[in-house]
Amino acid sequence: MQDKKYTTISIPTPLANKIKKRIEGTGFNSLSSYVTYILRQVISSIEQDEHNVEFSKEDEEKIKNRLRNLGYID
């Protein structure tokens, strides 16, 4: 059995209270699950477009030829 590692972070108590109130009846069962959800969303939006796939000149030409031969591009 593998346990997911968790850690503790501190946030201001008034903010925690505000979030607790906000998540009532939303399906989030804890402050932690809500904060995890929001952080995952934020981090993934920051990382958008950070990992562009690079094509070497040779690679690009080879792929373009195949796409042309298959009729995908002119």
**Residues 9-48 as x/- pattern, contact with other proteins by CB under 8 A:** ------------------x---------xx-xx-xx--xx
Q: Which of these, 30, 28, 36, lies nearest to 4 by C-alpha position?
A: 36
Q: Can you tell me the distance from the alpha carbon of 31 to that of 38, in angstroms, rounded to the nearest whole number?
A: 11
Pick the closer one to other proteins by CB: 13 or 72: 72
**Residues 55-74 as x/- pattern, contact with other proteins by CB under 8 A:** x---xx--xx-xx--x-xx-
Alpha-carbon distance values, 18 to 15, 31, 56, 61 (Å):
5, 10, 51, 56
Which residues of this chain interact with other proteins, rule CB under 8 A? 1-2, 4, 27, 37-38, 40-41, 43-44, 47-53, 55, 59-60, 63-64, 66-67, 70, 72-73
